[in-house]
Amino acid sequence: MKRKYLAIILAAVFVLASIACSSGSARRAETAPASAYGGYASNSKAANQMSWASDEAVEAPMEMEEDYSFTTASQSGGLQSVSAESARKLIRDADLSVETKEFDQIIPAIEQQVAGVGGYIESMNESGNSYRSNNYRYAYIGARIPADRLDEFLNVVDGLGNVTNKNLSTRDVTSNYVDIESRLAVLETEKESLQNIMKNADTTVDMLETQSRLYDVIEEIESYEAQKRTYDSLVSYSTVSINVQEVVDLTPVKEESRWEELVRRFTTSLGDLGDAIVDFGIGFVVALPWILVIGGVSTAIFLAIFLPIRAKVRKNKKKQAAE
């Protein structure tokens, strides 16, 4: 009887231990992630929060000094120190206004100089006929010049015509460029993780969820890469806008004395008077056929009306004299 009771007690202990183990396993299963993507999503969310925090730090204003440096996240997750002088991204643009008396020569000369420094004409248009008809010609040239040869090109243009206005601008886009590179590094890392998850996905739901997020990441990568290419183009090639105006007299670009100003304005006045006389003579010759036609018709009409009246008046006077 004692052995029988001992066997019953041992069996009861074994059953209770099995029930406790199964309930503990169930509780652990309930607290585990529902899927592989769910676990990745939680980790990815934390990683994104960290990346956005680093992005905000990158977007802080940067001092324009020679000895400053900044850091960017590499694709391996580390931080890489870069000197500001070697990695600084500067966009340089120029805007010129040029006067010339030799309009037909200066346009080909500018085109030749653009090609000579390794640039190209982005846009160009001309308007007007010639200054001799008081319709001065005008041209706009939009050129892309290698940034390292911009100063050389501007010096050459200075010698081709009378530069009356020159504007140079420089934009530092280093902070934006580093921000884009940091975001691309984070997105590339996320892309690789998503691709690995897709390979090991156990269910169709997990695969579809991962695929949807992967498409979003790829779209963001392409957008940032396009922005980066735009910055690279603007940094490598400066945009130069050249406005060429045909004139009779060049505008002085240096300070004149009173005597020089008097001589210049008197000479200009004489030139204007001569142009007015020439324009009047040309206009008269051009209008001469109309003058002859209108004059002839007017004379014929006058004679047709005046002569009969005059003849009638004379006849009446003779009649009165006879009476």
pLDDT in tens, 253-280: 666 677 766 776 777 677 777 777 877 8
| Residue 185: pLDDT over 60 | yes
Instruction: Report the candidate in 238, 266, 244 with the shortest Cα–Cα distance to residue 147.
Output: 238
| Helix 36-58 × helix 174-199 angle, to 10° | 170
pLDDT band of residue 221 (cuts 50, 70, 90) is very high
CA distance 149 to 95: 16
Contact 36, 200 (CB under 8 A): yes
The pTM assigned to this predicted structure is: 0.55
pLDDT, tens digit (0-9, with 9 covering 90-100), for 84-132 = 444 789 999 999 999 998 898 999 999 999 999 999 999 999 888 765 5
Please give the structure tokens belonging to residue 77: 């997750």
Give the least confident one: 29-43, 235-249, 277-291: 29-43
**What pLDDT score does 85 carry?**
44
Q: Is the predicted pLDDT of residue 156 greater than 80, yes or no?
A: yes
Q: Per-residue confidence at 135, pLDDT binned at 50, 70, 90?
A: low
CA angle 187, 189, 190 (to 5 degrees): 65
By mean pLDDT, which of 15-24, 50-59, 216-225 is the weakest? 50-59
DSSP 248-305: SSPPP-S---HHHHHHHHHHHHHHHHHHHHHHHHHHHHHHHHHHHHHHHHHHHHHHHH
| pLDDT of 235 above 90 | yes
Pairing of strands 237-246, 90-100: parallel
Neighbours of 161 (CB within 10 A): 24
Cα-based angle 254, 258, 260 (whole degrees, multiple of 5): 60
* Higher per-residue confidence, 15 vs 215: 215
Say what the pLDDT of residue 132 is.
58
Say what percent of the chain tops pLDDT 70.
68
The chain-wide mean pLDDT, for the chain, equals 75
Sign of CA dihedral 298, 300, 305, 310: positive
Most confident of 136-150, 240-254, 303-317: 136-150
Start-to-end CA span in the chain (Å): 190
User: Which residues are CB-contacts of 120 (< 8 A; sequence separation ≥ 6)?
Assistant: 114, 143, 144
CA 6 to chain centre: 92
